[in-house]
């Protein structure tokens, strides 16, 4: 099963490769934010769209045995648990799962795919315990772009396919790469306090984890790319570039934002 709006296929081989490389690429900055909110024994956590489960397992190591983590995904076959992690196959569009209120709710690279992202954020705030933290990590609108390749044409091919992948195919599917920049304001509007965000990025070389991630992602959307005007030669060149050690590009701009639910609900005047 997969969410209708999620255009990638986590059950495919490239889908699994993509999920498998995310921990290497993004767990360090994500953990930095989570460490800042104080993950302690006894805390109840919820991880939405948990992917391979790396963050859910990390949270469970720190919250157990008195606490625990509910790890939710529409595709749970690739979600590896451990003691303290309850794996739940669930579409977050259908509401926040029971087991709350939660002290920490984390969602990475999920809401940007979902058109009801604003309502879901409000639901997540509702499901927080007083004093609980919401942590949302998303890709920003500075798309990956080529820094060096064997030719200018190769650099243009990379940039063009990135552009079409996000601004044509992703946008048509309801994705938003502006959302990362709007999370702060939505947390504020929903009453969260102590809001803080970090931005993280790095360059990646052909054959390296970041480039292999791009490759596993793009092969999942080959058909829509070709339908959007990318030629078979361009597509093949793009895939080869990502294995070419002469190629270098910026990886995604990753923005991770946290906000805390006040201990006492604000009083109305």
Ligand X SMILES: C[S@@+](CC[C@H](N)C(=O)[O-])C[C@H]1O[C@@H](n2cnc3c(N)ncnc32)[C@H](O)[C@@H]1O
Residues that bind ligand X (CB under 6 A): 3, 6, 10, 19, 22, 49-51, 72-75, 91-93, 108-110, 113-114
Length of the chain: 269
Phi and psi of 206, rounded to 5°?
Answer: -50, 130
Q: Measured from the CB of residue 79, what is the shortest distance to ligand X in angstroms?
A: 8
How many Å from the N-terminal Cα to the C-terminal Cα in the chain?
A: 48
The C-alpha atoms of residue 258 and residue 85 are separated, in whole angstroms, by: 22
- When the beta carbons of 84 and 237 are compared against ligand X, the nearer one is 84
Nearer to ligand X, 92 or 149 (CB): 92
| Distance (Å) of CA 134 to CA 38, 168, 202, 209, 214 | 12, 30, 25, 28, 28
Tell me the C-alpha distance between 205 and 8, whole Å.
24
CB of 87 to ligand X, least distance (A): 12
C-beta closer to ligand X: residue 94 or 233: 94
- State both tokens at 221: 């959307």
Least Cβ distance, residue 130 to ligand X (angstroms): 25
Whose CA is closest to 74, among 20, 2, 9, 124?
Answer: 2
- The nearer residue to ligand X, 71 or 146, going by C-beta atoms, is 71
Shortest Å, Cβ 11 to ligand X: 9
Burial class (CB in 10 A: 0-12, 13-18, 19+), 258: buried
Smallest separation (angstroms) from ligand X to the CB of 110: 4
Query: Distance between CA 252 and CA 255 in Å, rounded?
Result: 9
Bridge partner residues of 204 (DSSP) = 249
Of 114 and 230, the one with the shorter C-beta distance to ligand X is 114
- For 100: left if phi > 0, alpha if psi spans -120 to 50, otherwise beta; the answer is beta
Residue placing its CB nearer to ligand X in the complex, 222 or 240: 222
Name the residue nearer to ligand X (CB basis): 3 or 157.
3
Shortest Å distance, C-beta 126 to ligand X: 17
CB of residue 215 to ligand X, shortest distance in Å: 15
């Amino acid at each position: 099963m997969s969410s209708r709006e999620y255009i990638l296929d986590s059950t495919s081989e490239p889908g699994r490769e993509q999920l498998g490389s995310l921990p290497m690429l993004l767990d360090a900055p994500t953990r930095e934010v989570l460490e800042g909110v104080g993950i302690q024994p006894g805390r109840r956590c919820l991880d939405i769209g948990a992917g391979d489960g790396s963050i859910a397992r990390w949270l469970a190591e720190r919250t157990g045995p008195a606490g625990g983590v509910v790890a939710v995904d529409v595709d749970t076959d690739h979600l590896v648990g451990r003691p303290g992690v309850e794996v739940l196959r669930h579409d977050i569009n259908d509401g926040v799962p029971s087991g709350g209120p939660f002290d920490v709710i984390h969602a990475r690279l999920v809401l940007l795919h979902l058109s009801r992202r604003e309502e879901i954020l409000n639901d997540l705030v509702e499901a927080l315990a007083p004093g609980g933290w919401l942590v949302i990590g998303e890709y920003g609108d500075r798309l990956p772009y080529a820094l060096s390749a064997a030719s200018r044409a190769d650099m243009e091919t990379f940039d063009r396919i990135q552009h079409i992948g996000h601004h044509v195919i992703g946008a048509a599917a309801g994705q938003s790469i502006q959302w990362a920049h709007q999370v702060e304001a939505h947390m504020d509007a929903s009453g969260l306090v102590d809001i803080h965000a970090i931005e993280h990025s790095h360059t990646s070389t052909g054959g390296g984890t970041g480039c292999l991630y791009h490759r596993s992602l793009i092969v999942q959307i080959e058909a829509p790319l070709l339908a959007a005007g990318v030629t078979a030669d361009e597509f093949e060149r793009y895939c080869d570039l990502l294995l070419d050690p002469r190629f270098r590009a910026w990886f995604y701009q990753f923005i991770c934002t946290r906000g805390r639910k006040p201990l006492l609900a604000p009083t109305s005047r």
